Amino acid sequence: MATLRKDGTPRVSGIEAYFVGDDLWFGSMPGALKARDLERDPRFALHGPPVILSADDPAAAPGDAKVTGRAIEATDRQRIAAMLTERGLDPDSFSDSHFFTADISEVVLTRIEGPDMVIDLWRPGRGLQTLRRA
């Protein structure tokens, strides 16, 4: 995940992000720099590298996913507890952690299909657009 430091330069941090219900969630340890960055300036970019779906067919990787938007800090402890419980985690173990949901402004999925690079682009209110490059 990329966030913006006080001086405007990017900070890249490892992070786990999860879809729970209709929301994309991510978190951070108490007082972490990325949490401070997001509290000061909520803009973020998240990149997910290709994931091999099957050792038998490495070409089955879905491609690179990129998500940009604004982080919204979750402060409702009941909502956070419900999200953690749905993920099979003990909410009491994360009482001081920061949790955010994503207000997504753009999603890009880039993949290879045969000789073409295929780019799926989604933005709110515009729907899905697919571009192909040979």
pLDDT value of residue 129:
96
Is the model's pLDDT at 23 over the cut of 90?
yes
Q: In terms of DSSP bridges, do strands 116-123 and 64-73 run parallel, antiparallel, or are they unpaired? A: unpaired
- Measured CA to CA, the distance from residue 3 to residue 23 in angstroms comes to 19
Burial class (CB in 10 A: 0-12, 13-18, 19+), 114: exposed
The amino acid sitting at 47 is H
Q: What is the pLDDT of residues 41-99, one digit of tens each?
A: 999 999 987 665 666 665 556 788 999 999 999 999 999 999 999 999 998 888 889 99
Q: At 103, list the tokens.
A: 């207000």
Which CATH number does the domain 2-104 belong to among 3.10.450.50, 2.30.110.10, 3.30.365.10, 3.90.1150.10? 2.30.110.10
The CA distance from 31 to 71, in Å, is 16
The residue extents of the domains of the chain are: 2-104
Q: What is the pTM of this model?
A: 0.84
CA separation for the pair 51, 6 (Å, rounded) = 33
